[in-house]
């Protein structure tokens, strides 16, 4: 398979990958209805950039921007009204599309090559949900924190 060739394939077919993912998200009945009013660009948000980060990881390059971009993506989705399960389901669908692309690309590859590619890709992708979950805990904690009312002191 060659991880470098797969990286090139991902970046060259980024638009096709995103179109497949958008179709899947828009057809998925369990997804938030918010997705139906978003433009392609708004629905995509940071995911095209994530494909570039996946290609970098496949080329053994550092991908330090995955977490900050994941954080921004989670924040953007929350401001649109997405729930945490909605966000995670979107990312799960993205993983499915990417794993399909890897399988299609590496149909003639050895099992070891395919496993290595999957491992690299999933490692990078799974860093986004981790950040989103941390943000969700912070968001819910802040939202659920009620200000303490002071009782008037007895004189």
Of the listed ranges 12-16, 111-115, 123-127, the one predicted with least confidence: 111-115
Position 106 confidence tier, pLDDT thresholds 50, 70, 90: confident
CA distance linking residue 87 with residue 107, whole number of Å: 30
- Check pLDDT > 60 for residue 9: yes
Does any domain span residue 153? no
Does any domain span residue 155? no
Does any domain span residue 81? yes
Q: Which domain holds residue 85?
A: 3-144
Encode pLDDT of 35-76 as tens digits.
999 999 999 998 999 999 999 999 989 888 888 888 888 888
Please say whether the beta carbons of 44 and 22 come within 8 A: yes
Does any domain span residue 150? no
Residue 30, CA distances (Å) to 14, 92, 126, 127 in order: 25, 12, 21, 23
The domain spanning residue 122 has which CATH number? 1.10.490.10
Position 143 scores a pLDDT of 56
Total tally of structural domains belonging to the chain: 1
- Check pLDDT > 90 for residue 147: no
């Amino acid at each position: 398979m060659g991880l470098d060739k797969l990286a090139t394939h991902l970046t060259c077919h980024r638009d096709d990958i995103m179109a497949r993912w958008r179709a899947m998200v828009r057809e998925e009945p369990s997804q938030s209805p918010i997705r139906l009013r978003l433009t392609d660009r708004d629905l995509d948000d940071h995911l095209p950039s994530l494909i570039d980060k996946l290609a970098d990881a496949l080329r053994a390059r550092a991908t330090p921007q995955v977490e900050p971009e994941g954080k921004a993506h989670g924040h953007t989705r929350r401001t649109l009204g997405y729930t945490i399960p909605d966000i995670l389901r979107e990312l799960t669908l993205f993983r499915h599309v990417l794993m399909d692309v890897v399988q299609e690309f590496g149909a003639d590859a050895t099992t070891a090559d395919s496993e290595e590619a999957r491992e690299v890709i999933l490692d990078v992708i799974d860093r986004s949900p981790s950040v989103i979950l941390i943000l969700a805990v912070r968001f819910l904690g802040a939202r659920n924190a009620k200000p303490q009312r002071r009782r008037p002191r007895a004189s």
